[in-house]
Structure 1
Amino acid sequence: MHSFVAVKNQYCAVELENHYSGYGNVRTKADKVIYIKGAPRLYQRNSISGIAQDEVFKEEGNEKSAPLVQELLKERDSNKWGNYLAGNFFIIVKDDANSQCHIITDLGNSFHLYQSRFIDGSGIAFSTDVDRLALITGRNDDVDYTSIAEYMINVSMTYPYTAYLGIKEVSYASCIRITHDREVFASEFQYWQPSCRNNEGSSDIQGLSQELRKGILNASEGILDGKKNVGLFLSGGIDSRALAGLMAHFEIKGKGITVTDVENTESGIAREVAKVNGLEHELFLRDPEYYPHVVGSYIGLEGPHSTFTRAVHLGFLDSIKSYGFDAVLGGYMSDTLLKLHEANVTGKIFLGRHLGPLEKFDPTDSTYLRGGKEYIKRFSFLFKPDILDEVIKRRKETMEYWNNLREDGSAWEWSWMWPFSRNQHNANLTTNIFNYSSFEVFTDRSVIEIARVASQKIKINGKLFNKAMWPFLRKTAHIPNAVTQLPLFRSSWLNEIIITAKHLPPRRWMFKAPLEMCASNPIATYGSWPDLARLWGASGVLKELRSEYDAFDLEKEIMFPHIKSVFDFDLYSGLSKRHVQHIMYTMLHFDQWNKRRISLCHDYAAKR
């Protein structure tokens, strides 16, 4: 599953397996070996001219990668290869004849590749497994306590920092060239940035929606071509529903996969959407012990960079694989890229009523928003001042970076969404692309380019997305959206009027669902996510993990001494229940990660 590259003097070793069919390694007549992770495609806007100076060997298993590489070889400068590619991928070019290795990442570093120098200075290594990278390069004990505290405070670690000192995330949209003839020297070229200058931003919703629809159609056509058995992670929301409509548009048969905690409104809507679009439907149900049972496998996938509560369907991996899908579609990242999921927005209030999912821009000064200096100071009762100072410093640096790139007022939003590993949907994305032949349509380059220039004004409340995807939503528009419990209307104005009307009656009594729906599972809700507060007390395994908690050394590094347990709500007076819950789950996650890290170190030492 994970990949590893080590480069030392006169030495380059690559470990990479690609589970995407047809994308095996490619050898060339000039003795280069090209390794591909994921399933990149040529980006149709950029064509490659010229004649290739090298020729690939077509072999069993590289039916798709060989012609792709042959086309890329027309461009002699591999630093520019990324300009011609789309999709979730990274590429390694091993050129022993010239003592070079090239690593090319996609626009968002989808497979979260990390890099580190060996602690003895002998070379450089890269891996998608940050814990193994730390172990091999001698940095297993170099925990970055600032990053750990920052994750608890900001629900994200500042890019490019990781949970280890001396290990950084590889730059997104970049080519790294490593020369290793006498000494190991690395240089980096970034071929793309999500910049938006003042003259680039656009509020042309008509033109951008047409361009977005065209890009998604072209990407989907390339992805689905020749596929006969396609799986779709299908919720009761709009994004995956649009993908179901796309499958129907291309007359693709397949199966919708829905994961909830109980048969509820969400699963019922998903089943109906699948039926209308000619798909079979399968429902997987989590029980209260689902999450604690996936802790180990989730840490193996994501490491310490997000908690196991994000593992919404990892526990059903073997069952889903048993369907033998030749492609799996996921609707992740559309909320982030096209609907301001990470932006400074807040719920609308009308006549004293909260209008549910309808949002408006939050005028609060950014210093008081997540990551801001005043926001971080709220945690001064818990974390040591030197830790908080470093968290503030890192956020200041990253905001300077994004203010320079984004001149349209969206710097704060993009600081939380780029690269992919920094935003809240990343765990779902990586679960898919690491384990299935998964294609995330809404991370296609054509979508990202629209998201880069589209104004926040036309993204809010799904205006741009719904307009672009309406042809694929029309057939199921009468089926309620799980979030609003209302049908979808073509007019964004009418949608907002209807949602407003729904939320005006006192306590919304006429729209309430029956409480007995969730009686069979104490952590269940009416949606696809569990009630994490109830899970904390309902799971026997979580209670055992808390009783075995042993991260006191970690606490001493980042927190003030205190007599209360980190699992005592009274310790966190002044913080919201939701944030207290996040800190508690995070400390439990870090405890399990720390034990795994120490165990890996012991195993590694024993083998040596």
Structure 2
Amino acid sequence: MKDFLFSTEEFAAAALKERSADSEIFAGETIRQFEGEWGTLLVTEDCYTQYQPYEDGERLFIVLGGPLYTGPESEGFLSAVPRLMGDWENIDFSRHFDGPFALLKVNKEEKRMDCVTDLLSFIPVYRAEREGQLLLSSHVDLLADAAGEREKRDAVSELDFVLHGAVTYPYTAYENIRQVSPGTIHTIDKNTADISGRTWWLPEEILRYTSIGEAADDLRNTVETYVNRVTEKESSVAHFISGGEDSRTIAGLIPDHLHKDSFVFLDDLNLEGKIAKKSAAIYGSNFHFYARDPLHYLYILPGSSELVGSGSEYKHAHTYGFHEKAGLNKYPVVLGGLFSDALLKGARIRKIRGSKKFPFLPDIKDSFYTVNKEAGVDIFREEVMKALRKRREDHYHTIKEMRPESAKEWFQMWPASMNMNIPNLHVNRRLFCSYEPFMANGVVKISASVPQSWKMNRKLFHRAFKPYLKPAWWLWHSDGRFPYFSRYANIMPQLFVWMYMNLAVKTGRIKGHQGPFAHWDTIFSSEAFRQTKEEYLNYGGVLPQTLKSNHPFSSIFESDQLEPQQKINLLQVLHHHKTDG
């Protein structure tokens, strides 16, 4: 299923639908309803047809997302459900459902509902209350509609989102809605009108490997197994291709006997696209290039913002609009490479200054970084900033109890909603049959079980997937590296490529936008952006009260205190205010 909305309110399907009538997440969807004395559950159907709702006279079982069912090979999912529900208290969910998921189990006689979140809450779940009733949902705005919280925006959370691209867990964009914890069985007992939780997994800092080679072998086997299992019954699959190494790895992992179609969406067939095209040819994949309008990321703001929900960056909805145009929704399997950087390459380990400006230099950890380092803009009221810092510090200390040495890294990964890139998954899984090998349970557990030094400079990733990079050993990465070789072997080649690229841009030999995503300068300078900005300034909502008195809200977009990407986040917040009515 795509999304769900649960309430302890009895036989309330009609009422919930009415309260959620304006929600885009239900618009045009096939809604299945289940209700009784235990409460009410609404779910929307998706393309993962192997997970149809299971219902008998006593129980109801729902799966969200498209995890791999990894029970006994001779046992199909539907035939396994009675056994799973009968052995519920002893299940290691990570051994039965691999990848992003949320599970719902209703015991009708006992009037109890269990909601199980995955290892990192790749699929987040939110809770609220309304007139003594408990509500849960997989979409924060849908829940806000059902709970009557739509107009109760949280000013601190919205400022948090503008500055950091995410809302600090467990808070949300709404004052009275919270995200529930990852790796937990959340039990709602209608008889007591209470919700309780039992944690079944935490990313505790326990190093389980004695050598990087051992960890790399496990990692490679984990991802190979995931890809083989998800494609074993298919004749053709789709995957995304780019100028990078993750997409090459995925292309190499796909079994050779399958028909492969690779897709890339760009403003034009630039350097990124040309490298991607060569990569597709090397790996025997049919290359499909789709051109974007230069203002594409402005035009998709309304639709993709509604899809990901308040507090999630819409700009990661790279496939939005192309799911039908490119026919992604017709494939049984679409493979991506999301979260490889975060889980395996230390992307959330803060590096010393200069790492981005001079990419040929090795990564060196910044030991002096703090989680509130970026929250230093001075146009916002001190009491609001103080409340924001307190939330982030509280979350940091929660992580530090689990991971004393790597708390700053996992601050942005537990739960996954703290990682600004996760909306990419939220969009894709709602639009087509998306599968992410680097989000397999084994990958998450390995990431939690190795030292940071193995992740940095691609050491673990390179050791694990070098065999799959070999076919394209001579093809450079769009950042100037040769992925088949180690980080240190790439220092001089990447330096020369970096110097050449900079010189070519300055002399005009290379013109135009060469990257994979939006060219924000083009968008910011457009008349369409100016008109959108002026319109949206009328929907400030609670944000003006976060500003100091000498900073009028009408001039916030002109402030040099906000980075360009923070202004995009601001525009998205104002869009949500507009839809609030």
TM over 0.5: yes
Residue 188 of structure 1 aligns with which residue?
197
Report the CA distance shift for 1:250/1:31 in structure 2 as closer, same or farther (over 3 A).
farther
Is 1:208 equivalent to 2:215 in the alignment? Answer: yes
**Is contact 1:255-1:281 (8 Å) kept?**
yes
Q: 1:207, CA displacement in angstroms? A: 1.0
Determine helix, strand or coil for the equivalent of 2:264: strand
Residue 284 to residue 185, structure 1, CA distance change in 2 (3 Å): same
What is the aligned partner in structure 2 of residue 399 from structure 1?
Answer: 396
| Kept in 2: contact 1:209–1:464 (CA 8 A) | yes
Structure 1 segment 235-254 matched on structure 2, within 5 A:
235-247=242-254, 249-254=255-260
CA distance, structure 1, for counterparts of residue 431 and residue 549 of structure 2: 42
Say whether 1:585 aligns with 2:549.
no
Return the letter of the residue paired with 1:545.
T
SS for the counterpart of 2:8 is: strand
Given that 2:127 and 2:135 are in contact with CA atoms closer than 8 Å, whether structure 1 keeps it comes out as yes
After TM superposition, give the deviation of residue 158 of structure 1 in Å: 0.9
SS at match of 1:356: coil
Aligned with residue 434 of structure 2, among 427, 432, 438: 438
- Deviations along 1:109-164, one digit per CA (max 9) or x if unpaired, are 2222211121x22x111112211211211222221111111122233211111000
The answer to whether residue 162 in structure 2 is matched with residue 167 in structure 1 is no
Asked if 2 retains the 8 angstrom alpha-carbon contact of 1:234 and 1:270, the reply is yes
Pick aligned residue for 2:118 from 95, 102, 106: 106
- How many angstroms apart in 2 are the aligned matches of 1:316 and 1:279? 19
Partner of 1:606 in structure 2?
A: none
Question: CA offsets, 1:512-559, max 9 Å, x none?
Answer: 69846655xxxxx21202221331112x33222112121344332211
- Answer yes or no: is the 8 Å Cα contact 2:360–2:490 preserved in 1: no
Q: Corresponding residue for 2:14?
A: none
- Please, what TM-score do these two structures have when normalized by structure 2? 0.88
- Secondary structure of the structure 1 residue equivalent to 2:39: strand
Bigger Cα displacement from structure 2, 109-118 vs 236-245: 109-118
Determine if the alignment matches structure 1 residue 450 to structure 2 residue 446.
Answer: yes
| Counterparts of 1:569 and 1:8, CA distance in 2 | 44
Query: Mapping of 1:294-313 within 5 angstroms?
Result: 294-313=300-319
1:463 and 1:241 map into 2 onto residues whose CA distance is 17
Q: 1:494 is paired with a residue of what secondary structure?
A: coil
How far did residue 18 of structure 1 move?
Answer: 3.4
Q: How big is the shift at 1:2?
A: 3.0
Displacement, 1:242?
0.4
Query: Judging changes above 3 Å, is the alpha-carbon distance between structure 1 residues 169 and 514 closer, same or farther for their aligned structure 2 residues?
Result: farther
User: In structure 2, what residue type is equivalent to 1:141?
Assistant: E
Q: Does 1:360 align with 2:363?
A: yes
Map 1:41-120 onto structure 2 (within 5 A).
41-42=68-69, 65-73=77-85, 75-77=87-89, 81=93, 84-118=96-130, 120=131
Given that 1:143 and 1:165 are in contact with CA atoms closer than 8 Å, whether structure 2 keeps it comes out as yes
Q: Supply the distance in 2 between the matched residues of 1:12 and 1:194 (Cα, whole angstroms).
A: 33
Equivalent pair of 1:235/1:267 in contact (CA under 8 Å): yes
Q: Is 1:468 paired with 2:464?
A: yes
Aligned mates of 2:126, 2:532 — CA distance in 1: 29
Where does 1:476-555 land on structure 2 (aligned, <5 Å)?
476-484=472-480, 486-500=481-495, 502-503=497-498, 509=503, 515=508, 518-519=511-512, 525-538=513-526, 540-549=527-536, 550-555=538-543
Counterpart in 2 of 1:51? none
Residue equivalent to 2:26: none
CA drift at 1:322: 5.9
User: How far 1:560 sits from its partner (Å)?
Assistant: 1.4
Give the 3 Å change call, closer, same or farther, for CA 20–570 of structure 1 in structure 2: closer
Q: After superposing the two structures, state which structure 1 stretch, 315-324 or 148-157, moved more.
A: 315-324
Q: Which digits, 9 at most, give the CA deviation of each residue in 1:86-131, with x for residues without a partner?
A: 211111112212211111111122222211121x22x111112211
Do the aligned partners of residues 430 and 553 (structure 1) sit closer, same or farther apart at CA in structure 2, a change above 3 Å counting?
closer
Say if 1:216 and 1:105 are closer, same or farther in 2 by CA, change over 3 A. Answer: same
Q: 2:335·2:434 contact (CA, 8 Å) conserved in 1?
A: yes
Q: Which moved more, 1:558-567 or 1:398-407?
A: 558-567
CA distance in 2, matches of 1:79, 1:135: 34
- TM-superposed CA distance for 1:21, in Å, is 2.2
Q: Say yes or no: does 1:19 pair with 2:47.
A: yes
SS at match of 2:456: helix
Equivalent pair of 1:25/1:33 in contact (CA under 8 Å): yes
Inter-partner Cα distance in structure 2 for 1:454 and 1:426: 22
Helix, strand or coil: the match of 1:150? helix
Structure 2 residue corresponding to 1:272, chosen from 271, 278, 284 = 278
- After superposition, what is the alpha-carbon deviation per residue over 1:312-333, rounded to whole angstroms, capped at 9, x for unaligned? 2212122133662111001000
1:580 counterpart letter in structure 2 = E
Cα offsets for 1:349-400 (capped at 9, x unmatched): 7xxx964254423435234xx424xx43x22x21111111111111111111
Aligned mate of 2:381, from 362, 380, 384: 384
Q: Does 1:5 align with 2:17?
A: no
Deviation of 1:570 after TM superposition, in Å, equals 5.4
Deviation at 1:79, TM superposition (A): 6.9
The SS at the match of 1:77 is: helix
For structure 1, the 5+ residue unaligned runs are 49-62, 520-524, 599-608
Quote the Cα distance in structure 2 between the aligned partners of 1:240 and 1:12: 44
Instruction: Give the Cα–Cα distance (whole angstroms) in 2 for the partners of residues 302 and 236 of structure 1.
Output: 26
Secondary structure of 2:257 counterpart? coil
SS at match of 1:469: helix
- 1:140 equivalent in alignment to 2:150: yes
Aligned in 2, Cα 1:596/1:506: closer, same or farther, shift over 3 Å? closer
Find the counterpart in structure 1 of residue 321 from structure 2. 315
- Residue 123 of structure 2 aligns to a residue whose secondary structure is coil
Aligned ranges for residues 119-130 of structure 1 at < 5 Å? Answer: 120-121=131-132, 123-130=133-140
- 1:281–1:115: structure 2 CA closer, same or farther, 3 Å change rule? same
- Tell me the equivalent position of 1:415: 411
State the secondary structure of the residue aligned to 1:459.
Answer: helix
Alignment partner for residue 594 of structure 1, among 564, 577, 581? 577
Q: 2:53 and 2:557 mapped to 1: Cα distance?
A: 52
**Partner SS state of residue 230, structure 1:** strand
The answer to whether the 8 Å contact 2:459/2:487 transfers is: yes
Q: Which amino acid aligns with 1:39?
A: G
Give yes or no for contact 2:505–2:511 (8 Å, CA) kept in 1.
no
The 8 Å contact of residues 328 and 432 in structure 2, kept in 1 or not, is answered as no
- Contact 1:38/1:433, CA 8 A, preserved across alignment: yes
Corresponding residue number in structure 1 for 2:13: none
1:229 matched residue in structure 2: 236
**Alignment RMSD, CA only?**
2.6
Greater shift after overlay, 354-363 or 1-10?
A: 354-363
Counterpart of 1:605 in structure 2 is: none
Counterparts of 1:561 and 1:193, CA distance in 2 = 44
Q: Normalised by the size of structure 1, how large is the TM-score?
A: 0.84
Indicate the SS of the match to 2:448.
helix
